[in-house]
Every structure is written in C-alpha cells, then in structure tokens.
Structure 1
C-alpha cells in the first residue's frame, strides 16, 4: 500500500530586520560625541602640560660627563656642544645625524670654533635619520667607548621626545639634559605665535607616539 504523499508546508517568511529606532541612533551618537570630547580634552590637557614642561634653560651646566651628544638640526646646538667640550665638560663630543660627506673641520668652521683645539675629540655619526636613530646610533657609540654618562644637547622643544628615546636606548647611562633655546621659538604665550604653536603641537604628537610605542613594547 502506497503511503499518502506529504505536502510540504510553506515556511514562514523571515521577518525583515528591525530598523534602528531614531532614539537608539541618537543615544549612540551622543556616546560617540562624549568619547570624542573626552579624548580631545585629554589630548589638550596633555599638550598644555607638555608645553609647560619644555625646559627653559640647561640642567646642571657645571656637571661633567663622559661624553657630550649633540643632535643635529640647528647651528645653536653645534655651537653649544663645541663650547661645552672646550670648557672641559666631557672627554669627547659625539654629533649624531650628520650628513654624509660632512667632516669635523667643516662643522668646526660652521660654528667658528678652532679646529686644532677640538678636532681630536669630536666624533661624527652618519647613520641616524630621526630621533630614534639618534638614540640607537649613540647607544652603539657609547657602548664601544665604555662611557656611562652623557650630556644631551638639543633644542628645548625637542628635549622631551629625545629623553624618551635615549632613556629607552640607554637605560643604564646617566643623561644630563642640556636644552638649547632657538631664537625663533617663543615659549611665552606660544599659542599666539603660529609657527611656534605648530611646532609644539607637532612635537607633542611625535612625543605621544614615541611614549606609547615604548610603553606597549612596539
């Protein structure tokens, strides 16, 4: 006996997805706005703190170290480095981030220093292209020399980021910051000066990237 045919039952159609309610979209938008405002507030507070702590003068000018390290980027830095070396603040001067083809005599002439007096104690580093490279290049040189302390010479606005990189690359080395004041960087009322404000904001963002990179081990 043939069983009766089973007629397939029609399946109920799936209900269309419920569209988000206007109230839910508005609540989500408000949350995102609050998050964005909070992050912006933190960034602004950090910027103001960063700017307030840019060094206005060198730290402990009379201290002696094994080496003086100058990061290229301004004639004031080179002159300061040569003056410190001439004053006996260290045994050697290391200039990091020098262009290929530039020699010690050329840098001494640029800074109006006396070649015969300082040439023997100046070493140039050619491999660094940025602040991270400066720190790594200096670390290799310091290790080769067996030095345990250095005076770091760079522009005042650049010093916070430089210290982040150098302290990470040279954790066991004593670092004495020696900030140079570029004449075109106006720290008093810096927000009124477009060039200085742009420079400080840019440097603050780079500082944050360097700090977070080391904080998260990237």
Structure 2
C-alpha cells in the first residue's frame, strides 16, 4: 500500500494515480517551473529597485561634453535646461519633442525659459516616439557632434532602461546618468508600485532584445 514502510524501513513515496502518470508529472513540473520563475522575477525586481534607488546625481566636478533629456515630463526638461545654464554641458538635446510644439521660441514660451539659450545651445529632436526611438535619435546626434561623454537626464524609475537602450546604440560613448526625482519610492503608493513593475518588465524585454541581437524598433 502507498505510504507504508518498505523492506528497508523507509517510507515509500506516494505514487501518481494509475493511468495519469504523465499528466501528474507535467502538472508537478509545470507548477515547479512557475514557482521558480516567480521567485526569479521577484528577486530580479528587488535588485532592479535597489539599483534604481542607488543611482546618484553626479556633481559639477565631472566633465561632460553635452546633455540629453529624454522627454516624458516637464521636470526632465526643466532639469536639463538648468544643467545647461550651469554649463554642465556645451549643448542640450531634448529627444522626443511633440510635433504639435513649434520651434525653439514656442518651446521657450511654454516652459518659461530663455529663448536665447534655446536658440544657441538646444536641439529639439522630434523623431522619437518611445525610449528606443530616443536612443536612436540620441546616437545620431552624438555622432554628428562627435561627443564622447554625455549626461542622460530622465526620471529615476526610467534610468536603467534608458541606459540599456542608449548603450546598445552607442557603446563607445560614456553615459553619465542624472536621475530626476519626481515619483518617490516604489512603495510610496500603489501607482508607484505598478509603475516600477511595468518599468521592470520593459527593462527585461530590452535586456532580452539586446542579448539576442534583435533590432530595436523606434
């Protein structure tokens, strides 16, 4: 009988129901795989959050050629313009500007920024529709100006995926992250938690795409 002691005095393991052994093993194996995948996902998410929270803003003593802002919020653009005014870089690219916004003067009016600053030292990139597009647009801009060290401005939760996209497009360029504090920590609210989980999943997709060599889609 099942569960009785064998000849060696050991408890025998339960046998799968007769006629269903293949299905039973598939169920156990599938359940174990899903559990293992969930554990890896949670561990990876914890590491992602920890790494994201430890990215610091570089000080003014670091020499930078230029600044790139990945659009997605007013705070990012205002931070990039402030860094340009502080002469942290000689030129600024704002990647992913909406086509409904006019030229530099309209952009300056909307932000309340100095039109002369935008006219002399700011380029508005209008081709990018997402982070992959930001990376392609930024790489072309960096190559055009022959920059070697660039400051990357975006929200903290977005910084790791942005760097993965950008480094894939311009591996020879040194990228210095400048995270913008806006949303707070991952556990500050349910909305923040969902935002970080969504960003982590997107980061995994980018990592897998870069690892397999699958081309980026702008």
Q: TM-score band (shorter)?
A: 0.7 to 0.9
**Are residues 1:200 and 2:196 paired?**
yes
Residue of structure 2 equivalent to 1:115: 115
Q: Deviations over 1:98-118 (max 9, x none)?
A: 111422223323333222234
Structure showing greater radius of gyration is 1
Unaligned runs of 5+ in 2: 1-17
The within-5 A match list for 1:10-25 is 21-25=19-23
After superposition, what is the alpha-carbon deviation per residue over 1:28-73, rounded to whole angstroms, capped at 9, x for unaligned? Answer: 2011100010001101111111112114664313123111000111
| 1:133 aligned onto 2:133 | yes
- The structure-2 alpha-carbon separation of the partners of 1:100 and 1:118, relative to structure 1 and needing over 3 Å to count, comes to closer
Contact 2:55 2:177 in 1 (8 A): no
The root-mean-square deviation of aligned C-alpha atoms, in Å, is 1.6
* CA–CA distance in structure 2, aligned partners of residues 55 and 94 of structure 1: 25
- Choose from 58, 61, 68 the match for 2:59: 61
Q: Cα distance 1:192–1:139, how it changes in 2: closer, same or farther (>3 A)?
A: closer
Counterparts in 2 of 1:174 and 1:192: CA distance versus 1, 3 Å: closer
SS in structure 2 at match of 1:53: helix
Structure 1: where are the runs of 5+ without partners?
Answer: 1-19
- Counterpart in 2 of 1:100? 99
Cα–Cα, structure 1 residues 192 and 145, in superposed 2: closer, same or farther, change >3 Å?
A: closer
Q: How many residues of Structure 1 are paired with residues of Structure 2 in the alignment?
A: 195
Alpha-carbon distance in 1 for matches of 2:84, 2:180: 15
TM-score by length of structure 1 reads: 0.84
Match for residue 12 of structure 1?
Answer: none
- State the alpha-carbon separation in 1 of the partners of residues 86 and 211 from structure 2: 38
Q: Deviations over 1:128-162 (max 9, x none)?
A: 11111101111111111111111000000000000
Note if contact 2:104-2:118 (Cα within 8 Å) is conserved in structure 1: no
Aligned-partner SS, 1:113: coil
Alpha-carbon separation, structure 2, partners of 1:82 and 1:157: 20
Distance in 2, Cα, partners of 1:147 & 1:85? 15
Task: Write the distance in 2 (CA, Å) between the matches of 1:97 and 1:42.
Answer: 34
2:14 aligns with none
Question: Equivalents in 1 of 2:178, 2:53: separation in Å?
Answer: 9
The question of whether the paired residues in 2 share the 8 Å contact of 1:61 and 1:178 is answered with: no
Alignment of 1:61-210 (within 5 A): 61-62=59-60, 63-102=62-101, 103-182=103-182, 185-187=183-185, 190-191=186-187, 193-210=189-206
Matching residue within 41, 44, 57 for 1:46: 44
In the alignment, the residues of structure 2 paired with residue 22 and residue 143 of structure 1 have an alpha-carbon distance, to the nearest angstrom, of 62
